[in-house]
Amino acid sequence: METDLKKRITLPNCPICGQLEDELFKLFSDLPQALSYDEKARENFAQEYGFCPFHTWQLAAFYSERGIAKGFPPLITALEKYLTDAVKNETLKKQGTTLLTKSKDNCRVCRLLQSEEKDSIALLADYLKTPAGKAAYSESDGLCLQHLASLISVVKSDDIASMLLTHAIQHLLEITSDLITYDKKNEARQRHTCTKNEKNAPRRALNFIAGLKSISFIP
């Protein structure tokens, strides 16, 4: 993971977001196949009552309707059984459907991403203690604001924190300039003259402010 993270600093967008997106893609690339043909995988999915709503819909994007028909019946049966038991059990009735209300605390995907996020931020904090890390970061797009806040909370050096903030300010100024130019050129019907950075400015702004859409789960 450390090697991957160092490589990601040289790529566009937040390297922490990129690391999480890769982990998410690996999981969702393999899981539909497992849920369709592996009875044990279906049992595990049913026992944990599936994922939170956000990650359920992400999983569905990797699935066909036929795949859902093959993989989801044990989950639906488990949900039905839980509700049936709640009708007969006063304790469950008082608890309501707590287990069924999936959140970051009881969603396997949320927990995986949170663990990966924590580890990646710790690795990056250590890398920034080195001259090579500082140089690589200064040439990068830096972190999105969400992960920047998390990184600053764990770095112990005021100098590194100041470097990170100064880098973010410069990145914001660059994005703002590209957004304004992009808008002006579109207004003048000269969109064809936009540079690559100007064309990508709206997406870069969103990625910087909120992180990559694919991993924008509740923190």
Convert the pLDDT of each residue in 194-211 to its tens digit.
999 999 999 999 999 999
Number of domains in the chain: 1
Taking the mean position of all CA atoms in its chain, how far away is CA 134?
24
Give the torsion sign (CA, 56, 12, 143, 170). negative
Instruction: Please give the structure tokens belonging to residue 97.
Output: 């459907």
Dihedral pair phi/psi, residue 13, rounded to 5°: 75, 175
pTM for the model: 0.84
Which residue range forms the structural domain that includes residue 174? Answer: 2-215
Give the torsion sign (CA, 182, 187, 188, 190). positive
Look-up of token digits 């914001």: 172
Q: What is the pLDDT of residues 142-196, one digit of tens each?
A: 999 999 999 999 998 999 999 999 999 999 999 999 999 999 999 898 888 999 9
72 within 8 A of 104, measured Cβ to Cβ? no
Helix (H, G, I), strand (E, B) or coil at 194: coil
Distance CA 53, CA 73 (A): 17
Q: Which of the 8 DSSP states describes residue 156?
A: -
